[in-house]
Structure formats: structure tokens, C-alpha cells
Chains A and B, each alone.
Chain A
């Protein structure tokens, strides 16, 4: 209220301000500094300039492999997950009985999927004689060597995250249900078919939610750790050795904090660059109702 001390709001914010400074801003800058040092916890950090970065890009095959695997993982998992979530949301967005039952069933994996128990389960069901291969045998297919083959191994992790499409789907579904139905009626009077309505009415109206899901899923996928750490342990042939695992190994197994910070910063800059591209491009494809620009 008008009579209040103008610093009163800051008092309520004080936990956030302290947390922001001590646990976000300081570590953020410190990791940038550490990335230019040689630091193994035994001695003080020694400033080495660009040496870590030069080593990363010229003399580290593990890094190149890990970066490639990470990009492949993100660029397959995120589009597949969003497309599947949207598809299922469209199917569910219909006057159906039991819609809540289905929505709940699809959401359960999202709740549990991040846990170690599910990662352990994944190890068992994709094992050579596991549930998936038993199922494939039942319908007359050859068993697949999931963990022995580099392409398949990464795909088991993609499948785990696809299995968790529920949270993205719930967000899509809420957006679909908020679309004004008269738009579809008007379109069908004008002779538009279902597919045309979907492309020209539904998709443009839910672009803000597609954008939101895209950013969130991308940032999350770049930081995938539990899946490869438990299910495949980075193998075979480092085919699932995602960057977060490499960073963890460098920092907390080899205690090479400087080098690990440099990898973390490269990963951070990649995520930032892609996020900025998404934000910049959103001008051209994200439609906000009531926005004159569009």
C-alpha cells in the first residue's frame, strides 16, 4: 500500500536475494573463472588462460564424442517427445468418457520416470532376455541387442524420456481446451476439413505452449544424467556418454574441477545459444492473441 516503506518488498525477497547471490550468481561467475584454471582440490587454482578450452577442442576425443552424442540425443528426444505429446493431446481433446482415466494413466510415468527405480527397471526390461525382447519374441520378431549396440543403447534412454510425455501432453491439452470452439465452426462452414483446421487454427493458437514446452524439454534433455548413468553407464563405446556424465566424472571422480568447469561452460553456452535462437525465432512463429505484431 501507498503508506508502506518502499523497502518492505525487499524484506520479503531477502531469502531469494541471499540465495541468488550465494548459490547462483557467485557459483556462476566462479565456474567461469575456474574454467580458466587448473584446479584439482589439492592446491589453489592456477590460472592457465585458455588452456582447458584449447585441450577440449583440439586434443580431447572423449569430449568430441560426448558432444556429438549429446546433440544426437537432444535433437531426437525433444522433437519426438513434443510430437508424441501433441498427438496424444489432440486425440484426448474430444468429448470422450473416461478422459480423466486416460490422462491420469499417461501422467503416471511423468511422475515416476525421473526416479532411480525406473532407471533400474529400464535396465531389466531392455536386457538381452528382458521384457522387451520377450515381447518381441511373442509377436515373432528377432531379439534386439539393446545395450550392446551403440545406436540402440542411446535409443533406450530416448524411449525412457518419451515414456514421460505426460507432463508435456497435459500442458498441450490445457491449451487445446482453451481454444474457442466457434473458430472451428466458422472454418467448417467455409469448407475447411479437419486437417486444414488443425494446421491453420489449432497449431497457430498453441504456438506459445509449443514454445514453452520446447525450451523446457530442451534445457532438461541437455542435462540428462540419471538415465545414462544408471541404465547404460555411458557405454557401449561411450555411445551414451552424455556431457553431464563427462562433467561429473571429471569433477567428482578425477577431481579436475577446472577442466570440468570448462566442459560445463561449453554445454551452458550451447544451451544458451539454442535458447536465444528459439526466443529470437519465436517472433516469426509464436502467435500471442491480442498481439498486433502477428
Chain B
């Protein structure tokens, strides 16, 4: 009976075939539509960056006349003159300054946020609830409201025109977002190994360093990468605190270059923009898994 109904010649089977082929056709059409849309949006998103790279090799007159990527008369002029800058310092100085801001800040963030997250996730102590609420409150507190008194505090400490105002708050776990992310991650890790270590006589410090930190590594890498990116991009912090040109990071140097005579040598500015984006892009492509994981876990569990 069943064989009979499903045999090729039966009208029911033909109907099923027609429905199936209609389905696959619709699926293919759907998929094609999605690909087309995704590709168009992707190109629109990336074209400004692609154009930027091409334009940095163009002559100044070509930048505002050629919407294409390929330079007609490729030149390294922008890079050579841009690197010299209109200041007594080369762009290399600004690069080193940037790293000199970023690296200590990332290290301070990693150490302080790990310790604080460990404290929140693994210990009971008085005022824990109040302190955790304070953490969430700082997460939502707009920086704009604390900026002016912070400036006054740093002025009174004599830290203006140094990198200390940029380093110290982060070294004191000032970026609540990262602490929160690590707490969420730690809460999901079982405590068995830590408890075994404690039974064997390890102190909490030893447990933290030899057991928790290795387990926490993926989240910790995300924290370091995000802090690296955000600090590379930071503009307002250096703008407020750094006044001598020899201490400028690249963000301020670029701002300076669009204000000075370089403003009319567009390829110089664009070439230095490309260079200033290069470290962030390189780090992103080497470690994109950590970015995507970091952002989705931070967001979902939040």
C-alpha cells in the first residue's frame, strides 16, 4: 500500500515533488537575496577604508577627483612628508608615545581587574552587595559628570602633562565594564580545582595565580584587546591632560595635522591616518575570535 502511494507515477508523489522543488527554488532565491544584500552592505561598509588606503598613495589633486581605489600616479609623498610632520618630532615619536600610554594601561587594567573580579566572584565579605551595586553604577555612570573634578584632582597632584592621569584610574580597576565581564566569566567556572588547591594548602594568592588566571585567560585576552583598542582610539583623555607636543599620542598628532599647514596636503594626513589605524587592524585580524567572544559574552550575560 505504502509502496503504491509513493511510487513515481502516483499523483500524490508528483505533488510532493512539485512542492519540494518549489521549496528548494524559494530557498535558493532567498539565499541569493541574502548574499546580494550582505555583499552590497559589506562593500558600502568597507569601501571608505579601501578608498582611504588607495587615497594615501594619491597626489593631492587626485584625492578629490578620483573616487576609485587605484591611484593614477602612485606616490609615497604622503608617507614621506607625513612621517616628518610639521612639528620638530617625527610621527615615530607619536607612535612610541602612544605605546607608552597604552601598554602600562593595559597591564594595569589586566592585573587590577583580575584581582577585583576574583574578590567579587569567590569571597564573601561585609558590604559585598553595596560594592557590587557600586560597580554596576560606575558602569552606567557617564564620565562627563566626573571629568572636571578628576582634572582638578590630577592638577593638585601635579600630574598634568604626564601620562599618570591616563594610567592610574585604570590601574585601580576604573573600567568597571572589564571587572563585570571577568566576574561573569568567573562565575561560570566550577570551583572544584580551586578548592582542591586550597585543601592542599595553597594560599588564595597562589590559587589565583596558578589556577584561576590560566582558566580566565580567554576572557583576560578579550579585556586586554578591548583596552588596547579603546586606548589607541582615546582622544579626549590626552586632549585634556597632555599639553606638550613631545608627549602627544597619535590621536592628538592627527588632530594637530588637520589644524596646521598640513591641512592642505591631504595625502600627508591620509597617509598618517592609515598608519595610525594599522596596529588596531593588525591586532583585530590576529585575534578577532576574542573580540567577538568578548562582546557577545559581555552583552548576553549582562
Q: Which residues of A contact B (CB under 8 A)?
A: 1, 4, 6-13, 15-20, 22-24, 26-28, 30-31, 34, 88, 91-92, 94, 96, 102-109, 111-112, 114-118, 120-121, 123-125, 127, 129-131, 134-135, 138, 163, 167, 170-171, 173-175, 178, 209, 212-213, 215, 219, 222-223, 225-226, 229-230, 243-244, 247-248, 251-252, 257, 260-261, 264-265, 267-268, 271, 275
Contact of A171 among B125, B135, B255, B296 (CB under 8 A): B296
Q: List 24 A-B contacts (CB under 8 A).
A: A6-B125, A8-B204, A9-B125, A12-B116, A15-B173, A18-B172, A27-B146, A27-B147, A28-B146, A102-B38, A103-B292, A107-B291, A111-B280, A116-B276, A120-B258, A121-B270, A124-B266, A213-B299, A226-B235, A252-B240, A261-B148, A264-B145, A267-B142, A271-B142
Q: Are B143 and A115 in contact (CB under 8 A)?
A: no
Please name all residues of chain A whose beta carbon is closer than 8 Å to the beta carbon of B134 when the two chains form the complex.
Answer: 20
Q: Are A13 and B116 in contact (CB under 8 A)?
A: yes
Residue picked from A103, A127, A134, A163, most chain B C-beta under 10 Å: A134
Q: Please state if B116 and A34 are interface contacts (CB–CB under 8 Å).
A: no
Instruction: Tell me whether A106 and B236 are in contact in the complex, defined as CB-CB below 8 angstroms, given that A6-B124, A20-B138, A171-B300 are known contacts.
Output: no
CB under 8 Å from chain A, chain B span 266-302: 266, 269-270, 272-274, 276-277, 280-281, 284, 288, 291-292, 295-296, 299-300, 302
Q: Are B284 and A225 in contact (CB under 8 A)?
A: no
| Additional 12 contacts, C-beta under 8 A, given A123-B258, A223-B142, A223-B143 | A1-B198, A9-B122, A12-B116, A23-B169, A24-B141, A30-B149, A105-B42, A174-B299, A212-B302, A229-B235, A251-B148, A271-B142
Which residue numbers of B lie inside 8 Å of A, CB to CB? 31, 34-35, 37-38, 41-42, 45-46, 48-49, 51-52, 55, 63-67, 112, 115-116, 118-120, 122-126, 128, 131, 134-135, 138, 140-153, 168-169, 171-174, 179, 195, 198, 204, 229-230, 232-233, 235-236, 240, 250-251, 254-255, 258, 266, 269-270, 272-274, 276-277, 280-281, 284, 288, 291-292, 295-296, 299-300, 302
